[in-house]
Structure 1
Amino acid sequence: MRYITVKDTEWTYPDRLDYASAGDRLTLHSARGSYAAGQILFADVPAHAAVSIHVSGSVSDFELEKYELVPVMVESNPGMNPGNSTEHTPVRKAPYRLYDCAKPLGETLSPEGGTAGLYLAFAVPEDAAPGNYDGLVTITVGDEKAEIPVSLTVYKAVVPADGSLKVINGFWRNFEQYHGVANGTPEADELESKYLKMLRRARQNMMYVGGVRGITRPDENDVGEYTFDFSPLEAIVKRYIAHGMKYFNMSSIGRRKSWKESTILVGDNYPAMSYEAFRFLSAYLPAFQAFLEEKGWVDRFYIGVSDEPNDANATEFRALCGLVRRFAPKLRLLDALSFVPVFGALDVWVPLNSEYERHRKEFESMRIDGSEIWMYVCCGPRGEGYINRFMDYPLLSTRYLFWGNYKYNLTGYLHWAANCYQPGQNPFEQNCPEHRNADAVTILPPGDTHIIYPGKGEPWMSMRLEAQRASAEDYELLCMIAEHDKAKADTICAMGFKAFNDVEYDVHKFEQARIALLKAASEI
């Protein structure tokens, strides 16, 4: 049976069998508390062929997670043109189909054009004995059999279960419509639990939350007071904590009216600088802070003021931040933004990685009062070599994201979408949907809406989610090394990552950097 193995750092496709990392064996390296993974592609597979996997030798000491790769459509390369394209981005001209989705392996395969793909991940526990493990992965497909040699080197280094990097990808409950379950049912709760476990597996430790209900409000004569019910929010937070989440980004206080106007709206569409907004905020913010203090959650929470302030609303944004600080001084203010004149307004600055790179000196000056700097990506940056998690960028583009966090001491990462499928979007067939934000309409780059797929009865992860997990693990190891020898950690980082638009895309050179990372972390 014809097969090839491919590194987990390289994209695979149902219409190709030639890859830079192609081989005939799985050569794996892993820290403890991590995974050792690779891909296998088979040619000339008949439809619905039965499949089974058996592991022998010392490598069988480790639990093997088995997935079938599912091809998904990349229908276009929106936002890319000869002026902003590079040697590596886009990685391929659309349209094409890509093995981004990985579903748990069933009893049969679903080849496309005769090609079937597997993703195999050995779970290496924290207490595994360091050393070399060998064996065979015997895969039977129909009447044919492939015996694939495996060598796994387990290093002494241990990836900490609780990482220091704060990671948030927006999670939407709209998964229910994709699975045909009703909101509030046990089936929906069970599905949500599966999604949350998948995010935790990828080292996400922070969630967007909301759910505050207004109970009373002033009447048309301004008689009466605002009162609030925080019990729905409390229930959500407790559910997330039970699944291992530690931090929470409260829904923004305000929202823009237009990308072209200064007005920020709060509450029931009150202009933020109006008396009505003052009345609302002077009641809501102290009540929210008191709720967090009562629950002991002040240190777990951040709150947005108004997402992505721009030049048009920067002055109003700063004024609104001042109101928040007056009424709830213990709240930490966090927002994603570009380089706009809101200096000093926030506690946590979350610039686009491209904006940070272009305005590094200015953003670094925001640390003067103890403020944190994170970074985010979304539909941008697009082009000019800046890394992102897009499906038409090399898979290493996702893998390097948190190497940038290490290099620049950016202590968190934010993305708006773990599973934020747009209206009518089938993420298996459409990955560049239309997206509306206030009065702006855009066609999103492929993969911006999700890193999890709505599978049959369960979520299915993506190869980009796996790359993000591995990147978060790399970050922790780099930080561990830096505590003892920062120069060594910086040197290893520079083997792969020099800037957010300057990374090494040769998969073999990346593997050298990764092995150097594992060895250095094991010497501590």
Structure 2
Amino acid sequence: IQLLFFDVPDQSIISVRLTDDFEDRKTDCYELVPVFVEDSSNIDHTNPVPYCPNRVAPFYIYDCLKPLGEKVTPKDGTVGLYLSFPIDKKDKPGLLSGTVMIVVRGHLFEIPIQIRIHEAIVPEKGTLKMVNGYSSSKIPEYFHVEDGSPDHKRIDAEHLHLLRRMRQNMMYVGGVITTRDEEGNYQFDFSPLEHQVEYYQSFGFQYFLMSSVGGRKSWKESTILVGPERLPAMSYEAFRYLSQYLPALRRFLKEKDWTDCFLLGVSDEPNDANATEFRALCGLVRKFFPEIRLADALSYTAVHGALDVWIPLNAEYDKHQKEFESYRTGKDELWHYVCCVPRKEGYINRFMDYPLLSTRYLFWGNYKYRMTGYLHWASNVYQPGQDPFKQNNPSHRNADSVCILPPGDTHVIYPGKDRPWMSMRLEAHRQSAEEYELFKILEKRNKQKADALCEQCFKSFNKVEYNPVLFEQTRIQLLEEASKGTVLNK
């Protein structure tokens, strides 16, 4: 539930209480914090597409969710609240009724509410793989705590809980310490990686995307650089490094019985300039570690046959669907990803100047196109000097390319006071992931019905239904249909 209150003085006292069926139930209450969007960057305003964007900057948007305290901080006299009602799998299906009683400055507001609990149960361990880049190194700077201190560890854990809330189940990992003697022999210390994985597993993360073997030198050049010494991938020196690193990584993952839950990046976003070298590097990786599954984000380019997990930009998949579908050989998987582009043709994304439904539909695309995963580079990767409450179009460097990022591309988590604050877009990710699981439940019983319901709102990555009433009607139908045939635990 989202509510707005007007003509509220600064630092007004507020309280929330629920009655009847909700009196003893857990309720998450948040104050909606307005966030400034200064520019609708990279939009072609000469050829506008409806809803993308649906607001032209500058503007404020209620994206950030601050846990509700005793006092509120209005923006121009307006206070927003967000109330969330967690449903446990042990809850009995049926109708809950009650009243939300909110007192603001001594004024009582009574809002009757009803929530229907359906029989369908979203599995705790989802079938959709999801990874958003996370940077614990941002914590000391943005929370003003000492690196490695108890406060740092607490805030780190709170970030991970938020990622799990939106059903993220995969993390980027790395941290291998590499040393080399004068004769060119390498030693590898995997203990930091081991600690990192076991720590993430304690929060419920199941899968891990190992840091890439290499990375591009330039977007215009063929050269890929590998290892901590950034050796040209096709050089003898790189061969010496890979012939020692990859077998060592293979032994380590095999000893830990982790090979099946790991993916390995090769070189992010191969393009026409480095496609041939990328394919050759993939071959070298397979020579020394044949069991590991290779995964990378990419646009359409000549790297067919190189990977096991293909992660095209959703717009690229849409434009080259036939080719990407032909990559489904053996156990190969198709995922999708979104990033700072495109900002045209109406492709859905998680940008702040797009409707929230644009984020909500991301994993409907996974269901429609049988995509088993999703990747984004940033959950809290604020750029140097960026204040995400005031600046959401920061400059970003990737190799020799510099661009201005669209609003919301750097984060779905905010650096709040003493703890991270989630966003409405994070909640939309969670809801979308839950709906993906509902589609999969229904698919097992009635694929034709599941496909038809998805088609009502999602026709392609740039053709979705933005009428919230029609969306809500379809969502309720999905809940009802997924609940049919459910065996209840008496």
Q: Shorter-chain-normalised TM-score: which range?
A: over 0.9
In structure 2, stretches of 5+ residues that fail to align are: 486-490
How far apart in 2 are the matches of 1:61 and 1:491?
Answer: 39
| Residue of structure 1 in register with 2:168 after alignment | 204
Root-mean-square deviation (CA, aligned residues, Å) is 0.8
**Percent identity over the alignment?**
58
How far apart in 2 are the matches of 1:438 and 1:273?
Answer: 19
Aligned 8 A contact 1:102 1:463 in 2? yes
Q: How does 1:322-471 map to 2 (within 5 A)?
A: 322-471=283-432
| Residue of structure 1 in register with 2:126 after alignment | 163
Q: Does 1:69 align with 2:67?
A: no
- 1:323, distance to aligned residue in structure 2 (A): 0.1
From 263, 268, 284, the equivalent of 2:223 is: 263
Aligned 8 A contact 1:175 1:419 in 2? no
Tell me the TM-score normalised to structure 1 length. 0.91
- 1:386, distance to aligned residue in structure 2 (A): 0.3
Aligned 8 A contact 1:84 1:384 in 2? no
From 138, 143, 146, the equivalent of 1:179 is: 143
Aligned 8 A contact 1:270 1:276 in 2? yes
1:84/1:196 Cα in 2 relative to 1: closer, same or farther (>3 Å)?
farther
Q: SS state of the match for residue 151, structure 1?
A: strand
Q: Does 1:153 align with 2:116?
A: yes
- 1:370, distance to aligned residue in structure 2 (A): 2.1
How far apart in 2 are the matches of 1:514 and 1:122?
Answer: 17
Aligned 8 A contact 1:59 1:150 in 2? no
- 1:141, distance to aligned residue in structure 2 (A): 0.4
How far apart in 2 are the matches of 1:333 and 1:84?
Answer: 39
Q: SS state of the match for residue 324, structure 2?
A: helix
How far apart in 2 are the matches of 1:84 and 1:204?
Answer: 35
Q: How does 1:205-220 map to 2 (within 5 A)?
A: 205-215=169-179, 217-219=180-182
How far apart in 2 are the matches of 1:90 and 1:60?
Answer: 40
Tell me the TM-score normalised to structure 2 length. 0.98
Q: Does 1:48 align with 2:8?
A: no
| Residue of structure 1 in register with 2:451 after alignment | 490
| Residue of structure 2 in register with 1:11 after alignment | none
What amino acid sits opposite 1:189 in the alignment?
A: K
From 106, 121, 145, the equivalent of 2:84 is: 121
Q: How does 1:198-347 map to 2 (within 5 A)?
A: 198-215=162-179, 217-219=180-182, 223-267=183-227, 268-347=229-308
How far apart in 2 are the matches of 1:385 and 1:130?
Answer: 38
How far apart in 2 are the matches of 1:84 and 1:163?
Answer: 39
In structure 1, stretches of 5+ residues that fail to align are: 1-37
| Residue of structure 2 in register with 1:9 after alignment | none
| Residue of structure 2 in register with 1:105 after alignment | 68
What amino acid sits opposite 1:227 in the alignment?
A: Q
**Consecutive aligned runs of 4 or more in structure 1 exceeding 6 Å deviation:** none
| Residue of structure 2 in register with 1:14 after alignment | none
Q: SS state of the match for residue 367, structure 1?
A: coil
Q: Does 1:80 align with 2:43?
A: yes
How far apart in 2 are the matches of 1:143 and 1:84?
Answer: 50
Q: How does 1:4-15 map to 2 (within 5 A)?
A: none
Q: SS state of the match for residue 63, structure 1?
A: coil
Instruction: Map Cα deviations across residues 183-227 of structure 1 (whole Å, 9 max, x no partner).
Output: 222211111100001100110000001100013x242xxx25111
Instruction: Map Cα deviations across residues 53-78 of structure 1 (whole Å, 9 max, x no partner).
Output: 11001133431100000000111011
How far apart in 2 are the matches of 1:430 and 1:380?
Answer: 19
How far apart in 2 are the matches of 1:426 and 1:520?
Answer: 44
Q: How does 1:7-26 map to 2 (within 5 A)?
A: none
How far apart in 2 are the matches of 1:479 and 1:86?
Answer: 31
How far apart in 2 are the matches of 1:486 and 1:449?
Answer: 36
